[in-house]
Each structure stands twice: as C-alpha cells, then as structure tokens.
Chains A and B, each alone.
Chain A
Amino acid sequence: MRTRLLSLALLAVTAAPLAAQDPSSTAVILDPQYVSYQLGTGATARTISQLGVPFAVIIPFSDRFNIDISSSYANSQVKVPGQATSTISGLTDAQVRGNLTVGDNAAVFTLGVNLPTGQYKVPDGQQAAAGQIGNDFLIYPVTSMGNGLAATGGIGFAQTLGTWNLGVGASFRYSTAFDAYQVQTSVLRFTPGNEARIRVGLDRPVGDGSFNVSVTYSKFGKDQADSTSFATGDRALAQSALAVPMGSGSDLLLSAWDLYRGVGQQLGASSPWENVGNAGVAIGFQMGDLYVQPNIEERIWNVDGNKAGLLTNAGVRLRFALGGLSVNPSATYSFGSLYTIGQPATDVTGFKASLLIRLH
C-alpha cells in the first residue's frame, strides 16, 4: 500500500511539470541540513542529530493555480553513552497541495493531502529518534517521520487597508488513523485530532523593506491512541518580521515568533502549557556577487511558568547565484541550557549547517 502511494506521489512529481502551462517557471528547492545538539556533558551526554533533506517542487499551472509537492528524507539519531543508538531514517510523508487564487489576488483556496509515505509502526529502538526531532524548542528541519493520511482545506482572503495589507485565513485538517509505534508485537493505532486553524495577519512596505505581523490559532480535536482519547492543548503562533535596507546593498532583518501550547493531556500524563519565544536579528550585506548575512537569535522555553530552556544561535547565511541556481549555504552554532525543577541545568551545544538550493 505504502509503496503504491509512494509510486503515485513520484508519478505526480514527474508528470505534473508536463501538464504545467509554463514548465520553465517550475521551482525546485532542495534544502539538505545537518543539525546536532549535545545535551549535557561527559558520560551522561545525549546527542540528538539529524540529517534532513527537505525538498519541494512548485508548479505554476497558470497565474491563478499552482501545485506544490514536498517531502523529506531524514536520518535521525539519539546517542547516549553506554546505550544503543536510536536511529530512524527514510522518506517522510509527502504533501501535495493545490492553491487557487480568485479575483485579483483577493482570495485563495487551498487543498492539501498528506500522503503517508513516511515511517510508521516505529519499533521500540527507533522511537527516541522518531520523537525527539519533534521538539518545539530544539527545532529540527524534519519534525516528524509520519502523520498519517490527512487532508487540509482552507481559504484565505487579502485586502488592502490604506498602506497595510490584511490577510485572514481559516482551514480544517481531517486526520485518519495510522500505526504510530510498535512495541514487540503490539501496534499503537493513533488518530490525531482534527484541527481547525484561523489566521489574521497584517503586512506593509516600510521604505524599501517590509513589516509583517500575524497570529495563527489552532484548535485540536481529541487525539485517540487505541481506545484512549485525550487532547494535548491548542496552539497559538505569533510571528513578526521587519526587513529594511540600510543602503549600499546591506539590510537589516528583525524577526520574532512565539509559540504557545495550552494545557492538555498526554497519553498517561498531564501536559502543562508551554511557550517558546524566539527573537533574532540579522544584518545582510553584499560582497560582490555574494550576499552575507550574519545573524543571532535568542530562544526561551517556558513550561508551566518555569524556565525550561534557553538557547542562543549565532550563525551566518550566504547567498549566491550559480547559473540558474540560487545557492544558500548557512552555518549556525548554538549554546544554552535546559532546566528541570530541582535539578542542575543541562548544558546544550549544537551545530547546524544547511545548503539550500533553488532552481528558479
């Protein structure tokens, strides 16, 4: 079944450009990334690393309709001295999404399908690697190896309000059951709760730059693990960014986001609210044909009112053209701490390298 779905997805990727009105405008994006965090030091050090290769193809069929197809390959590992390394690798789910614009950029209908081409029935030895990449504080390029067959339908509207653009949208995601984990011969049949989202955002030009701010709220239905129902808490994500040129090819980017998850219930345990806030600054400048953007950001994690993590990321992003390709390498070094009440802080150090390549 999975092989058949994968074949269909690959067929769609291959065939879609042939159907497109203007294949030359098809964009292909490949973003290999390696991320590794070490938690603690010495004999208790835990290393969580991932080589993720997300890729996407965006096919504009007309000015009004485009389809994008995306998936990832990921190899994730959790290493603890003296213990067997937990490793999971392979293709993740594939997403096929169509967007239809109505009017003169007034509204857009979006319909997406999550095809379960990823890793399911994750055995005991791979569960740590499959799960820990989903952490909202230590962000990995691939956060899940499989979420099951799901469909999302949504609509968005945009309207000019003076010098501002207002964008509002709503969507509904319908999820189906899948075999999440396998322990010995038992399989955990898991059905994610359906999700309703609303989003309100504003953006506007600022000089030659831009400013945007938005809030997205997700309301989840009950998850179901075999016969147990529970909900892990609704989510709200606020995002804002200001990008302004500073002359001589340089620019300044200020960005911030905050992810809040409400109180909920996990399988067999309570799930307190948590919040991850992130603020960053980047200054980009042109050195000949090379764009260089040093950046630094601070991230703070709070669980149930208690500080749970602090992380500083410092890095540099580059951008240059290579023929018809836009090449964007970047490297980031991270350091910080994780906190648990009543216990000493755990040092965190990490490294991330990526090489985003975009054709068109």
Chain B
Amino acid sequence: MRSIRRVALMLALGAWALPAAAQQKANDNIQAKLAKAAAANPGSVAANRSLGIWYYKAGRFAEARVPLEQARHLDPKDGVSALYAGLAAEQLKDFTAAKDAYNSYLSVGKTKSVRNDIRVRLVTVTKEEAKASAKEAVARESQIAQVPGSPTTVAVLPFKIGGADPNLQPLQVGLSDLVISDLAKTKKLTVVERDKIQAISDEIALSRSGQVDATTAVRAGKLIQAGRIVTGSLISTGPATAGSSSITMTSVTVNTQNSQTVGQGSNQNSTLDQLFSAEKALVRATFVDLGITLTPAEQQDVDRRPTQSLQAFLAYSRGLMSEDAGRLDEAARFFDNARSIDPGFNAALQRAQSASARSQQTTAKIESGLRGTAEGQSVTAAVTGNSSGTAPLTNTLSSVVGDVNPTTTNSVAGTNSTSAAPPTTRPAAAEATGHDQPAPRTGQVTINITKP
C-alpha cells in the first residue's frame, strides 16, 4: 500500500515537473538555434536582432547587447534593434547608451506609439543618467576639479529657505527652477539642467543639510563643470498664506575656479505676494553679474511670468520635490493642483502630463507597443526562434494544413480556443444517401439495391 502511494506521489510530481522541464528544453533549443544562425550569418541583421531580443526576453541583458549592437552597426535604420539595445542598456543601468539607442529609435523607429513612449522614457533615463554621472563625478572629483568650467556655463543651486513657515520649503527647488528657466532664455549662456544639479546635490548631500555654504556650492559647481554658480536664499517673516509677509531674497554669483564672488549679487526686500517681481529683479541682477546684455526680445521673454499665483507656484514646487524623490503619482497630483489653481500655468500642465505618463511607464509597456505592428513581427519571430526575423508563420501553416487535410486532430485541438468548429469533412455516404438529414424533408429515402 505504501509503495503504491509512493509511486502515485512520484507520478504526480512528475506530472508537475514535466511541463517545466519541457519548456526549459524548448527554450534552450530556441536559444541554440538562434545562436547558431547568428554565428553562421554574422552579417545578418535579422539573425543578430533575433538572438539579441531572445536574450533580452530571457533576462540575459549583457548577452543581449552584443548581437543587438552588431545589428545596429549593420543597419543603423533598424528601429527594433535600436529599441532593444536601449532596453538592454537601461536594464544594465548604462543610461547614456540607453539614451543614445532610444534617440536612434526616435529617428528610425516606425511605430508611433512606441516613439511616444520612448519620449516619455527619455525623461526618466535622463534623470537616471544625471544620477549616474553625479556618482561618477564624485568618484573622479580630483580629476574633474582640474578642468575649469566655461564662464558662460551657469548652475543654479537650490535656494536656501529661511523663516518660520515650513510650507515655503518647496520654494528651494521652485525658485531655482524658475531662475534656471529665466537664465536659459538667452543663448549666450549654457544653463545646467536642474536634474543634473539635483543629482549632484543629492550625491554630496548638499540639500539634505539645507546649508549651502560657499565651499560646498563651489564644489558642486566644479563637479558639474560650471564656470559660474548662482546661490540664493529666501527669508520670510510670516506664513505662506499671508501675502503681506516680508521677504528678503538674495543671490550671489560665484566663479567656481577661484571661489570669488562675481558682480554685486542681488538683495531684494519685498513681500510674499511680490515674490515673482523679486525673482525677476534677482534674475536681471544675475545677468548683469554674468556680463550678459539681453536683447529686447530676450528681455521680454524673461519678464514673462509662468503664473501670478503664489499658491499655484507652491503646489508646483511641491510637485518638483516629489518628482525629485521619485514619487511620480504624488508629483502629478501637485502639478494638477497647481494647474487647477491657475489654469494658465502651462509649465504645471506639462509637468503633470509628464509625471503621470512616467508613473505608468515601464520597459514592458514600451515593448507591448510593438505588438500587432510590423516591427512587432520581428520580436515574435525572435521569441519563436525564427532567425529570419520575419513573422512566425507556424500558425498560418498549421491552419492551412487543418483546412486542406483535416483530421480529427484539428477538431479536438481547436476546441480549446474557438467557437463550435464548422464541419470540415463530408460524411460522404450519409450525404449521398440523404441519411444526414435530421428529419426527412420530403420523405424517407429508400435504398433499393438490386443484386448484379
């Protein structure tokens, strides 16, 4: 009795294990087939692409990059190779290579929805690239510090916010974002993106302490390779809800090479509801310090205010902080809030859309965009072990066989996936004698057989 149970148990275990083993064996066969095809045809874009995609799908990202880069080299216009090269690079945290490949797909890729997804993805990848660059910069700080930044390359560090109301703290990133945006309106300056500054700030714990001392600020500027850095502060005497609260907004421009102050800086005493006027005055003073004379058109552009609402700007600033922290859903809600307070706040709308799209964006979603498309055929080909890169025609051929040479196999194999299958064969004798009718239509057919 015990041995019977043991045998039954082994059989049951075998029944569970067999499919997994068979699947593994099938996968191994596909990989071997694709590898063999790529080795036999090293100049074949399709063979290399199929192998690369297969490796990617198997989670073997490092192995995927070699054939995918080879395919891109062979045909720079092959969008699918570029896309999967980007996906593989991203998985390996090589964000610069991922950006390059994604941008390549934007140029040569044929699937519109994937191009749209890639544009959203590039925002994330760019941020990740900035973080990786910041780490590398800190690791190579002694070397980087030797290379002087250009005097026209400017970095604006997060503002220091002082005062009793913690609700104003988000302005540390909001104000720097605003100043960066204004300084970038002239082509005479190269303004470092806030993502890069934020990444360096995070890396050297600049903003964590809230104390942006001159030494740390210069260090950050050197790491970013900016010739000039702008540091600022905002001190308020009252709550964010009271527009009449007094504020003092200051800024200093520093030469990162010698740590000397450049120009006079800015010192604006105002009230909270005049925050944006104070910011514009600060920006004008900074241009003067940097020796930049704006054209009338640039001046007009700089004077334009994205919003007149302090509360909308505070919500926007909170969104930036959440975005920096990677809380994209929360960021989208803050940006939406800013937009609802001031419907004309376009930057908030764009940020809301971007954060919302990024929060739902995954590499799997990008891949799924290829399904059902001409480019998707290459992917399906790879998954099914087709090194020619064309659509897998297995099902097509199977249907042809089932229709031209049908057997019982077709009827039982198809029951699983389709509705009631039509009769594919003729019951010859029954049809010929009328026996196939469920009820006699015009009377019973009688068979009279005469002996020869």
Contact = CB atoms under 8 A, between A and B. Distances in A.
B448 to A, nearest CB: 8
B259 interface: no
Contact of A259 (B395, B422, B450): B422
Interface residues of B, number: 76
B407 interface: yes
A330 B415 CA distance: 10
B396 interface: yes
Interface in A181-232: 181, 183, 186-188, 190, 192-193, 195, 197-199, 201, 203-209, 212, 214, 216, 218, 220, 223, 225-226, 230, 232
Interface string A2-37: 000000000000000000001011000111000001
B7 interface: no
B430 A134 contact: yes
B16 A324 contact: yes
A325 interface: yes
Contact of A183 (B436, B438, B447): B447
B409 A97 contact: yes
Nearest to A339: B441
Contact of B386 (A105, A144, A255): A105
Given A205-B376, A241-B418, A54 B412 contact: yes
A295 B436 contact: no
A69 B435 CA distance: 28
B449 interface: yes
Nearest to B376: A205
Contacts of A167: 393, 396-397, 399-400
B12 interface: yes
A128 B446 CA distance: 12
Contact of B371 (A29, A134, A152, A205): A205
Given A25-B22, A199-B404, A257 B422 contact: yes
A328 B423 contact: no
The listed residue with most B CB atoms (<10 A of its CB), out of A48, A134, A171, A303, is A134
B432 A360 contact: no
A316 interface: no
Interface in B374-392: 374, 376-377, 380, 386-388, 390-392
Contacts of B372: 163, 204-209
11 contacts: A54-B411, A134-B430, A134-B435, A154-B405, A159-B393, A163-B373, A180-B433, A187-B449, A225-B432, A243-B417, A356-B416
Per CB-CB distance, the 6 closest pairs between chain A and chain B, nearest first, are: A131-B435, A134-B427, A156-B400, A323-B15, A70-B408, A192-B428
